[in-house]
Structure 1
Amino acid sequence: MNALTRATAATTALAALLALSACSSKAKDGDDDGRTAGGVKTGEGISGKTINLGVLTDMTGVYATLGKSVTQAQQLYVDKTNKDGGICGHKLKLTVRDHGYDPQKAVAAYTELEPKVLGFAQFIGSPFVAAVKQRIDADKALVLPQAWSANLLGSPYVRVIGSTYDLETINAIDFLMKEKGLKKGDKLGHVYFEGDYGESALKGSQHMAGKAGLTVVEQKIKPTDNDMTAQVSALKKAGVKAVVISAGPRQAASLVGVAAAGRFDVPVIGNNSAFAPQLLATQSGPALQKNYYVASPTLPIGADTAAAKKLVADYRKAHPKDSLDNGVVAGWTAASVFGEALKKACEDKDLTRDGVDKALLTLDDFDSGFGVTQNFTDPKAPSSKESVILQPDKKTTGGMKVIRQPGTAEAAESLSPSGD
């Protein structure tokens, strides 16, 4: 993640790498006749009685905490599924590559794994998914990204789970206006990462500002910018009444901590990837619990649902020394979605990439038990437009409590996939 700043500058290099890698041969590792004993068609990614799924994650970059939680939750799903007999007589297997949020490593990892897997249950990083999106469309290997840029919409093979960053930001600002005193005529600060993530979120704040009569004061930052002192100073001088942050957990903690130290007492709300519960043990912990909120595509890991309690118990048993966070929910949900698509494809006797892609398009009411129903029938739309508003709370399992239940702002309902 610390190399995201090179994403724009590396466009030429990435293009060359993509062109070179496109020449690589495809490995067909299914059964010789392309069918299982039960008459089910197979293809790439199926070797003997194993369904191979790829994981392109961040274990060493800015989103290392998220990547670890997502990956371990997905392995938990795989282990449970295999213990229960697998899917269509096949066991699931994850092949993991850590790209460290580096664009070239992400593209190289995709190039390596694509011929070997049926699809990808995880791909962290909107810019990196976007970089290979045309290839994904040609390869037809289903990708379920842990990324929510609106630019990823439109492909039947790249399916965003939950509301995109623009919609999530609109829902976040709706919360600020209805419950935190932000009103027409006010200035709203928006601190955001350069690149797909931040710019997608910015479109949401600009759309909401136009609808609600707000003025957006922008502060664009790089992922290597960890000290938000300059940004807080600029926003305070501009007289903003609230702040949206579309960045990483470190930047959010710095922003809220610096604001509190400078007696800049305004509410701050972040997108779903702008928090990690480990922050509650830092100097910024008290300020985060007082003045920080997070918009999330689902209920948190500490939700009072049977599914959440079961996942908490299973995850703690498998990883007793690791923290619980919403990455666990994201990973489990994505693996579950992929699993449901595989089950439907098995019923249709077609476990090829094309068969799995078509199967996903039939899922219109999937619920992993975290409060939001997902509809995957329209590739041009996210699977949901709802957001849950959370607040950091060290007393709650996973460090986040629910402040507002799942809902969609009127302005989010009216936003088209193109952002108009």
Structure 2
Amino acid sequence: MLALALAVAGCSSKADDDNKGSGSEGGVKTGEGVSGRTISLGALTDMTGVYATLGKSITQAQRLYIKQVNADGGVCGRKLSLVVRDHGYDPQKAVAAYTELEPKVLGFPQFIGSPFVAAVEKRITADKALVLPQAWSANLLGSPYIRVIGSTYDYETINAIDFLMKEKGLKKGDKLGHVYFEGDYGENALKGSRHMAQEAGLTVVEQKIKPTDNDMTAQVAALKKAGVKAVVLSAGPRQAASLVGVAAAGKFDVPIIGNNSAFSPQLLATQAGPALTKNYWVASPSLPVGADTADAKKLVKDYRTAYPKESLDNGVVAGWTAAAVFTQALKKACQNKDLTRQGVDKALLTLNAYDNGFGIKQDFSDPKAASSRESVIQQPDTSVTGGLKAVREAGAAPEARGYTASG
């Protein structure tokens, strides 16, 4: 991936003079992506690949947020602009899209895919273009310009297994299955399983898969033969539907819990829907979009008005939150009269108790640490907005509080 990044670096397009270099507008220092009228932000998303549903929801939520900010006067006398590129969860397209947009934008409130962010991590740090990825791998921690929002996958998995042990019958001495994508996402989640297994006396039965593996029949057979009592899934929605559906058809009646990327409400309309509502749970870095809070209700109302034909899911919350965090950093940077990339990053460090109304406060003061160690446990439910209801409020397992994620 690094070789790929270097190979495409030379084809970077040139930004307009209005968006490149440093200067001063009205006493405010400016740099890349900032003109006298506009602050340009980048979104590197997946609209056509394995996370197409997620990417669409995140992008639409961010466009809605920016539209509302602009209607309220913008930031620092400037309108926000979101420049979107679809990489289709393809590594070459993802790196090429970063190369194209980096000179043109101030930063990125969206970048889907831990492996792709990791592939250009050194370049992001050198470019100083703040990235708020929709990816939760602890391997992304450490750079002051890549800031994960919420608990990383290892923390999230520890909290998920804590739920299985406290509420779903998993106990010391049991075997725990873990089906996971190869690469950053799945392997970081696996660290959480291994840590929890050591702490709680479990044995992990591992099943590594590729993002292109959509049929989980072989994995279910292997886990059933091994005698696992519960399963963690660190993959995508398609894998979740197959895993849960095949398990139900084979009378493999064990609880299955996924990381936050492993669900889409559209799954509830498939043949796997009944099995998902019965035997599947999701760990998440926030309350679901259908939560009974004033902020959630307002977001649902506004989103439905803007996109009346689109479904709601937790991607809406993730996109909205990242756009809000980036905008708060921009507003603080404006107060500091420094809208350069370094100024925005410095402003983000001051957000040490950010709360967007979805259940978990975020601390961005330390780039080496996750902004939270807490997770909300959710369950599929066809009767609620977004298809997920919270069954355990935000919290961190004791094993998560004693664990340190490392990038």
* Aligned partner of 2:85 among 97, 111, 116: 97
Question: 2:299 aligns to what?
Answer: 311
* Aligned partner of 2:368 among 380, 384, 397: 380
Given that residues 241 and 266 in structure 1 are in contact (C-alpha distance below 8 angstroms), is that contact kept between their aligned partners in structure 2? Answer: yes
Normalising by structure 2, what TM-score?
Answer: 0.98
Whether 1:36 and 2:25 are equivalent positions in the alignment is yes
Question: 2:51 aligns to what?
Answer: 63
* Aligned partner of 1:280 among 256, 265, 268: 268
Q: Distance in 1 between matches of 2:170 and 2:21?
A: 63
* Aligned partner of 2:289 among 294, 297, 301: 301
* CA drift at 1:21: 5.1
Normalising by structure 1, what TM-score?
Answer: 0.95
1:17 maps to amino acid: V
2:150 maps to amino acid: G
* Aligned partner of 2:126 among 132, 138, 158: 138
Given that residues 44 and 98 in structure 2 are in contact (C-alpha distance below 8 angstroms), is that contact kept between their aligned partners in structure 1? Answer: yes
Given that residues 53 and 94 in structure 1 are in contact (C-alpha distance below 8 angstroms), is that contact kept between their aligned partners in structure 2? Answer: yes
Question: 1:74 aligns to what?
Answer: 62
Whether 1:414 and 2:402 are equivalent positions in the alignment is yes
Given that residues 21 and 31 in structure 2 are in contact (C-alpha distance below 8 angstroms), is that contact kept between their aligned partners in structure 1? Answer: no
Given that residues 28 and 115 in structure 1 are in contact (C-alpha distance below 8 angstroms), is that contact kept between their aligned partners in structure 2? Answer: no
Q: Distance in 2 between matches of 1:47 and 1:251?
A: 44
Q: Which residues of structure 1 form unaligned runs of 5+?
A: 1-9
Whether 1:201 and 2:189 are equivalent positions in the alignment is yes
Given that residues 29 and 43 in structure 1 are in contact (C-alpha distance below 8 angstroms), is that contact kept between their aligned partners in structure 2? Answer: no
Aligned 1:306-345 pairs, distance under 5 A: 306-345=294-333
Question: 2:245 aligns to what?
Answer: 257
Secondary structure of 1:29's counterpart equals: helix
Question: 1:240 aligns to what?
Answer: 228
Aligned residues: 407
Q: Distance in 2 between matches of 1:32 and 1:227?
A: 49
Q: Distance in 2 between matches of 1:11 and 1:82?
A: 37
Secondary structure of 2:383's counterpart equals: coil
Q: Distance in 2 between matches of 1:219 and 1:317?
A: 42
* CA drift at 1:12: 3.9
Question: 1:129 aligns to what?
Answer: 117
Secondary structure of 2:347's counterpart equals: helix
* CA drift at 1:418: 2.6
Q: What is the Cα-based RMSD across aligned positions, in Å? A: 1.4
2:405 maps to amino acid: P
Question: 2:147 aligns to what?
Answer: 159
Given that residues 19 and 104 in structure 2 are in contact (C-alpha distance below 8 angstroms), is that contact kept between their aligned partners in structure 1? Answer: no
Q: Distance in 2 between matches of 1:98 and 1:76?
A: 18
Question: 1:6 aligns to what?
Answer: none
* Aligned partner of 1:173 among 161, 183, 188: 161
Given that residues 185 and 234 in structure 2 are in contact (C-alpha distance below 8 angstroms), is that contact kept between their aligned partners in structure 1? Answer: yes
Given that residues 46 and 55 in structure 2 are in contact (C-alpha distance below 8 angstroms), is that contact kept between their aligned partners in structure 1? Answer: yes
2:208 maps to amino acid: K
* CA drift at 1:16: 2.9
* CA drift at 1:11: 5.4
